[in-house]
Amino acid sequence: MRLLPAFAWLLLAAIAFVTLAPIGLRPISSFSPSIERFAAFAAVGLCFALAYPRHLWLVLALVLGAAIALEALQLVSASRHGRLFDLAVKLAGGGFGVVAGVVARRQWQRVMASRTA
């Protein structure tokens, strides 16, 4: 679990790079861009929620704030464009990821408690 905070920050940095780099450097998958955005922010939300379980309000603020900031920064990029729909997808993904992290951690704690009982 010690590597999880570092992984969460690296994942957020990678998303920031992909979001703000020229469009030609954006990786392409077979999924729609909306699914990619949702999944990326869900992964970041999950990682941060698991890495910092005692600071969930800050985690939520960080993940959702990053989505807002990155979408806003696309407005000043020559080759990118920020859109409210894209922001909504990122916010939904980030929120989903944080909630999934909370649920996963609680389930893990229940499993571990039942093993020791």
Taking only the tens of pLDDT, the chain with its 117 residues reads 689 999 999 999 999 999 988 877 778 888 999 999 999 999 999 999 999 999 999 999 999 999 999 999 998 877 778 899 999 999 999 999 999 999 999 999 999 888 886
CA–CA distance, 36 with 75 (Å, rounded to integer): 20
Could you give the C-alpha distances from 34 to 19, 60, 77, 85, 113, in angstroms and in order? Answer: 13, 20, 20, 9, 38
Tell me if 34 sits within 8 A of 93, measured CB to CB: no
Please report the pLDDT score of residue 47 as a whole number. 98
Q: What is residue 2's three-state secondary structure? A: coil
Question: Residue 96 CB: number of other CB atoms within 10 A?
Answer: 16
Position 81 scores a pLDDT of 81
Per-domain residue ranges of the chain: 3-116
Percentage helix, strand, coil for the chain under 3-state DSSP, each rounded to 5: 80, 0, 20
The tokens for 77 are 């990029």
Length of the chain: 117
Q: Say how far apart CA 12 and CA 27 lie, in whole Å.
A: 15
